[in-house]
Amino acid sequence: MGITVKNILLSSAVLLAIGATSAAAADLPAKVYTKAPPVAAFDPWDIAFGAGITNDYLFRGVTQSNHKPSANAYFEPRYNVNKDLQLYVGTSASSIAFANRASVELDGYFGVRPTFGPVAFDFGFWYYGYPGGTCFAGVAGFGAECAANALANGNFIKKDVSFYEGYAKVNWTINDVVTVGGNAYYSPNFLNTGADGTYASITGKITAPSTFFGSSGIGAYISGEFGRQWLGTSDAFYGNIKYADYNTWNIGVGFTYKVFTLDIRYSDTDLSRANCNAFTSDHTATFDGSFSPINPSGVGSGWCGPAGIVKLSADLTAMTNLK
């Protein structure tokens, strides 16, 4: 077969194409020939835990520690269904000083936290346990133990004041600086008094820019809460009295560094000393002429008045702090 011009041109075209393909392959980045990095597995489980100490443990404006120091700790396993839905269960313990001589609060709780963009909700159930109490009444009709024990100021209190609440919370992060929120709690038997209790509050927090203290890593915030506690009528043990509803508020500043928070706060209520005594059965209350329709004894309590609180706490999560 003879070589023609057509054969020469066709052969040249094939060689040029092969050369061009080889050159193009040589110019491709090396990463084309490496395996893709493995996708990190999503671990939905996490654990939050922490502890703190304060000069005064207040609960809705009322001291739980007789205005004395208190320590607390908590442990909270969490399950993240996805980035916007978390399930949790937890337990906590705090030192207290109740009128029935209970010295520890042991709580259990569980709930769900759905998030929609900047709005975070929290729905759950909380049990407040106060073991180790003693009944004080000093009169017959409430059992032998109650009759055998009396408080010097004449107040009555049950051995067991444990109770539970259901709650709903919401927090709206407006921006990196401002957060506002609202809370609602309900108990059919608040502090085992026989009276129902409803608490609602609004909260606000202003967080300082991360550069406020330069590169020190210290953060700062101002926060506050205004709430109202509605209370029903007690059972016969406490005299079938309609407890006084009251307002409570607090405002303070906080400083954070890594897992630590130092919170300095002022708290108060509008409960009178007389109505505070009827509500708390304060064993340290004294006669000071504090009379009211539900407190005819004239004994007044300072457990619901103004208080300054300083608390140092540490809060960690396993996924963030223990990796």
What are 143-181's pLDDT values in tens digits?
A: 999 999 999 999 999 999 999 999 999 999 999 999 999
Backbone phi and psi for residue 199, each to the nearest 5 degrees, phi listed first: -125, 135
**What is the distance in angstroms between the CA of the first residue and the CA of the last residue of the chain?**
76
Residue 126 tokens, joined: 């909380």
Residue 54 tokens, joined: 């304060």
Residue 305 tokens, joined: 């008045």
Is the four-CA dihedral 211, 213, 218, 220 of positive or negative sign? negative
Would you say 36 and 291 are in contact if contact means Cβ atoms under 8 Å apart? no
Gyration radius (Cα) of the chain, Å: 32
Report domain extents, the chain: 113-129+136-321
Is the four-CA dihedral 245, 229, 309, 180 of positive or negative sign? negative
Share the mean pLDDT of the chain: 91
pLDDT in tens, the chain (323 residues): 455 544 544 444 444 444 444 444 444 454 545 566 665 667 899 999 999 999 999 999 999 999 999 999 999 999 999 999 999 999 999 999 999 999 999 999 999 999 999 999 999 999 999 999 999 999 999 999 999 999 999 999 999 999 999 999 999 999 999 999 999 999 999 999 999 999 999 999 999 999 999 999 999 999 999 999 999 999 999 999 999 999 999 999 999 999 999 999 999 999 999 999 999 999 999 999 999 999 999 999 999 999 999 999 999 999 899 87
Cβ neighbors of 45 (< 8 A, separation 6 or more) are 77, 78, 79, 80
Tell me how far apart the 2 most distant CA atoms of the chain are, in Å.
131
Q: Would you tell me how many other CB atoms lie within 10 Å of the CB of residue 20? A: 10
Return d(Cα 316, Cα 260) in angstroms, integer: 9
Measure CA 116 to chain center.
Answer: 19
Identity (one letter) of the amino acid at 8? I
Strand stretches in 29-161, DSSP E: 45-54, 58-59, 62-63, 70-82, 85-95, 104-116, 119-129
Return d(Cα 229, Cα 201) in angstroms, integer: 9
Query: Which one, of 300, 134, 146, 133, lies nearest residue 236 by Cα?
Result: 146
Would you say 100 and 134 are in contact if contact means Cβ atoms under 8 Å apart? yes
